[in-house]
Amino acid sequence: MPTIEALVGALDLVPTGPDRYRAANVEAGHGVIFGGQLLAQAIVAALAGHEGKAVKTVHTLFARGGSPDTPVDIAVDRMHAGRSFASCTVTIGQGDRLCARSLVLLSADEPDFVRHADPAPKVPGPDEATPGGSGAWEVRIAGDVDIDDPELVGPADLAVWTRFAGAPDDPAVDQALLAFATDGFLIATAMRPHPGVGQAQAHVTVATGVVSHTLTFHEPAPAGEWLLLAHHSPYAGRGRSYGRADVFRADGALVASFVQDGMIRSAG
């Protein structure tokens, strides 16, 4: 897994012109750029020049995979900027290869008029969960679940604790790193009910990929602290999967929600 320096370094966008940037990649181990990296970079690019606002929603379409050996070029096209809201598109590519395009809505904080939020599910805490990764991005899967084992089936639900050890105290980085984490588990969630299909087969005998991803932020979510991603996939079929998830702080506060369309089909 990448170090926190590599993760934060990929969020250091180097200006190449007005609203144009270049950025490095983090190695995800699959020979292609991890979609969560592109989500994170789109958030940082959209926030540039919008002091006093945070990203509310980012909707991303992934067009083509990118090579981790080549830096990405990022173009921001501003749509609107007002006192309460701003919006833009963020396009990320490599040369003539368009990798992803995001539509980003930003908003300023306002006082409550009404408020409610779903409670966090009752799952084992991070200290009781199974480690599922190492390095700066810590992952722990709640319950007796091994998403890599193709014979270990279960419901299309997955509870994952995640944090980024050593992440800087920066609201923009918090949003970017949480976006990075949200890309990783909904396809694995959709695989769980099906014997003979597991995450370990992805990019080997099973072709998988994220097609679209929409993430909405509700509350601040420090990326250096434990966050619970509660995933559910209500549908998979026709070579596609669909999933949704909520994100909770360790104190039970709902901080974000996301949905994802994926591709799952035989690699043969």
Residue 250: which CATH number?
A: 2.40.160.210
Name the phi and psi angles at 42, rounded to 5.
-65, -40
What's the domain count of the chain? 1
Whether 237 is in a domain gets the answer yes
Within a domain: 114: no
Task: Return the pLDDT at 29.
Answer: 72
Q: Could you tell me if residue 120 is inside a domain?
A: no
In a domain, 23, yes or no: yes
For each of the chain's 268 residues, which pLDDT tens digit applies?
789 999 999 999 999 999 999 999 998 777 899 999 999 999 999 999 999 999 999 999 999 999 999 999 999 999 999 999 999 999 999 999 999 999 999 999 999 999 999 999 999 999 998 887 667 899 999 987 888 888 889 999 999 999 999 999 999 999 999 999 999 999 999 999 999 887 777 767 888 999 999 999 999 999 999 999 999 999 999 999 999 999 999 999 999 999 999 999 988 7
The half-sphere exposure of 212 on its side-chain side, counting CA atoms within 13 A, is 9
Residue 59 counted as domain residue: yes
- Residue 30's contacts (CB-CB under 8 Å, 6 or more residues apart) are 202, 203
Residue 48 lies in a domain: yes
Do residues 88 and 49 touch, judged by C-beta distance below 8 A? Answer: no
pLDDT at 268: 72
* Residue-number span of the structural domain to which 135 is assigned: 4-108+126-266
pLDDT the model gives residue 35: 96
Amino acid at 90: V
DSSP state of 202: B
Residue 115 lies in a domain: no
Q: How confident is the model at residue 66, as a pLDDT?
A: 95
**Which two three-digit tokens encode residue 133?**
């990764």
The answer to whether residue 113 is domain-embedded is no
